[in-house]
Amino acid sequence: MTNATTGTGLKAREYKSGIKPVWCPGCGDFTVLGSLTKALSGLQIAPENVAIISGIGCSSRMPTYLSTYGFHGVHGRALALATGLKVARPDLTVIATGGDGDGFSIGGNHFLHTCRRNPDMTYIVMDNQVYGMTKGQASPTTEPNWEKGKLTPSGTGINPFQPLVIALASGANFIARCSSSDQNGTARTIVEAIRHPGFSLVQVLSPCVTFRPEQRDWKKLVQPAPVEATSDPARAARRLLTDKGLFTGVLFKGNRPPYQPLLEPGIDNIAELDEEFRL
């Protein structure tokens, strides 16, 4: 984060817009909305200095529900929108939000390259292993033998995408996993992610109670990672490849400098650019 305006005195609920979410009752995303507003309140950032950027999908509705600036763009391009905003306006706290389909399927290329580029922003992915808004298709993180996907009735038969492993390999500077069943823990992790320089990925296991009701059990299955976050990518890779996707907490904290081109005015007189054309 770069904008540490403190002392707004705003409570978590004051970061909400008051617009009623479209989510199903019991959706994990409600809790994530709460975690996010708690995090912003905890950081005491003025709402006008925050921009929440998203693409399309259930969880991508997030910006509308916050009292900050927001952008609800097209499917899969949240990270590109957010990168442009952050590079142009490094003073803002930029947070991208979305789901597993938006981020890892249609937006997969931007995910790779945003990790690589490492702009100073936070990306919260509410992963429920399903396309909810289009009513129940397999997503990139769906297990291969899930047979309730309406386009893949025999299962996808293909390996799930491993977002944290890919993020690490692509250069993300902060990698964490949370569970929407732990609102305060998720809020604390989001605070840490925003504070950490560079690109921070927070995967939140956020059940889709409508199409993946079995995900209600996640709250019993997740457990805090047994070890502290490492800054060693090799060690982090070994852990992420073997942790079955249910350890929560901060898993990797790198120290790569963020991508931020200098926007200092060099010359004021634009007419000087004419000189190179003069014969």
What residue ranges bind other proteins (CB under 8 A)? 17, 19, 46-49, 51-53, 61, 63-64, 66-74, 76-77, 80-89, 91-92, 109-110, 112-113, 261-267, 270-274, 277-279
CB 209 within 8 A of CB 216: yes
| Residues across the chain | 279
Toward other proteins, which CB reaches closer, 68 or 139? Answer: 68
Toward other proteins, which CB reaches closer, 112 or 208? Answer: 112
Q: Which residue has the tokens 């904290």?
A: 253
Give phi and psi for 254, each to the nearest 5.
Answer: -90, 180
The one-letter amino acid code at 254 reads: G
Toward other proteins, which CB reaches closer, 109 or 231? Answer: 109
CB 204 within 8 A of CB 179: yes
Q: How far is the CB of 22 from other proteins (least distance, A)?
A: 8
Letter string b/e over residues 159-173, b meaning 16 or more CB atoms within 10 A of that residue's CB: ebbbbbbbbbebbbb
Toward other proteins, which CB reaches closer, 32 or 81? Answer: 81
Distance CA 121, CA 79 (A): 9
Q: How far is the CB of 142 from other proteins (least distance, A)?
A: 24
Q: How far is the CB of 14 from other proteins (least distance, A)?
A: 12
Token pair recorded at residue 252: 């990797």
Q: How far is the CB of 123 from other proteins (least distance, A)?
A: 14
Q: How far is the CB of 32 from other proteins (least distance, A)?
A: 17
Token pair recorded at residue 95: 């947070």
Query: What count of other Cβ atoms lies within 10 Å of the Cβ of residue 117?
Result: 18
CB 98 within 8 A of CB 140: no
Q: How far is the CB of 200 from other proteins (least distance, A)?
A: 18
Toward other proteins, which CB reaches closer, 107 or 249? Answer: 107
Toward other proteins, which CB reaches closer, 99 or 249? Answer: 99
